[in-house]
Chains A and B, each alone.
Chain A
Amino acid sequence: MNEILRTAHAILLKDLKTEFRSREFLGHTFMFALLVIVIFNFAFKINPLNTPELASGILWIAFLFAGTLGLGRSFLIEKENDCIQGLGLSPVDRTAIFIAKFLGNLFFLVLIQIMTIPVFIVLYNLNVMEHFTLQTAVFLLGDIGFMTLGTLIAAMSVNLKAREILLPVLLLPLLVPLLIFAASATAALLTGGEPESYMGRLKLLAAYDVIFFVVSALVFEYIMDEL
């Protein structure tokens, strides 16, 4: 176990280092998330009355789309100069590669959220983070489930001819339950729902995360062997 974590740590550090050297990717994804939020304003005719109801949906859609863009990149950078071959040939546990890629993707999604949410609060005049601890828990649990399946499907799609379109086509249907749990929990917190309503959803999100993390980590080696 220690060995796996040490390897994962090394791969994660490498990914973060290369990403922060250029930094352009983070900016692009942030711009995209921002754009989604702005466009929804025109699509829905947002006003102070309907904002609390629509806010959670808008935010989660923005994160799902921006996150999917980021996922595609996490394995694509390994394709350049055939780094993926080196990664595959190195005598390390496949699970370590999965965990590293998962943590890297999760890290960038959380960064995007930290940048986007304040802008959303200002533009929509709605304090999404009113229940700060609980709302953070919803976002984190949602992100973990999203990035678990996302990392698996991204690893799969990087080798495909139509990877840009296949990643969302394969991933988003699998994420429907996650979107329901997460968006309704965020909405319940925003509209001041009963504690039971969002606590139940938080537990469901946690269960979703555990199920798919275990399964994805187990089947990842079959994907990795073909990269």
Chain B
Amino acid sequence: MKLLEKALKLTDTAIVRYGSLGAAAALMLLGAYLALVWSPEAMGETAVYRIVYFHVPTAIMAYLGFFVTFAGSFLFLWKREMFFDRVATAGAELGVLFCSLMLVTGMIWGKQRWGAWWIWEPRLTTALILLIIYAGYLILRSTIDNQMTRARYAAVFGIVGFLDVPVVHFAIKMWGSIMHPVVIKSLAEPGMPPEMLNTLRVCMLAFGVLFATLFLLRLRVENLAAEVAALRSNHED
């Protein structure tokens, strides 16, 4: 928590803000080069497989975002500090963003691999339901004006929604069949050549830096907005 506050303090300097965005962009370009040019052909796959280097990181960032929302919601109800509510919002927004990217990249891959943009398969369906739940979270926030009410309702929904995630996944697994490829089965034996693994690592890092940067910037904006609101209400008094 201290670490997060320190990182947030750093974003007060413009160089840090632009620098981290630049670093994310540079890493993303490097990742794109490695993924599209450097990485070898995959056995039994056409060139479209290369989208996996973007698909997997977006998926991980999406789930990270949703977890941040859960953690922020829980901490808000526990400690009753508005800061955690802002953490939860930032997490949900990023989660929805990366979840959409994951679905789009997955659909492009799926069209080539399965011949259909969409199949009602457990992983895809779970991701879609999650996207709907967290889009609902953002809609819920947007309809409440009172700050305290919004924070409390959103926190309750953030907790219930996140608890639903494993249940949704389990239920849908029972309901549908499994066709989705598992890219990395175990970290000890990744089952892919080192070039591919390194490309995936760089892309993961690029998306990680992008996530962290966007998260901090979003949090900063929320903090500034809260400050402005506080100043305004003081002024009106």
Contacts and interface: CB of A to CB of B under 8 A. Distances in A.
Given A173-B136, A219-B156, A180 B77 contact: no
A92 interface: no
Contacts of B175: 180, 184
Interface size class of A (residues with CB under 8 A): 20 to 34
B164 A177 contact: yes
B160 A180 contact: no
B133 A174 contact: yes
Given A160-B143, A212-B160, A176 B153 contact: no
Interface in B148-207: 148-149, 152-153, 155-157, 159-161, 163-164, 167-168, 170-172, 174-175
B140 interface: yes
A70 to B, nearest CB: 20
Contact of A211 (B155, B157, B167, B172): B167
A98 interface: no
B221 interface: no
Nearest to A161: B143
A108 interface: no
B160 A219 contact: yes
Contacts of A156: 140, 153, 156-157
Given A160-B143, A177-B171, A223 B153 contact: yes
A125 interface: no
Residues of A contacting B: mostly: helix
A91 B147 CA distance: 26
A184 B173 CA distance: 13
A72 B133 CA distance: 19
A226 B163 CA distance: 23
Given A219-B156, A222-B77, A173 B171 contact: no
B168 to A, nearest CB: 5
Given A170-B157, A180-B175, A226 B149 contact: yes
A180 B132 contact: no
A165 to B, nearest CB: 9
17 contacts: A149-B160, A156-B153, A159-B144, A162-B143, A173-B132, A173-B136, A173-B164, A174-B160, A174-B161, A176-B172, A177-B164, A177-B170, A180-B174, A181-B171, A219-B159, A223-B156, A226-B152
Interface of A: 149, 152-153, 156, 159-162, 166, 169-170, 173-174, 176-177, 180-181, 184, 204, 208, 211-212, 215-216, 219, 222-223, 225-226
Given A184-B174, A219-B77, 16 more contacts: A153-B157, A156-B140, A160-B140, A169-B136, A169-B139, A170-B140, A174-B164, A176-B172, A177-B171, A184-B175, A208-B167, A211-B167, A219-B159, A222-B156, A223-B153, A223-B156
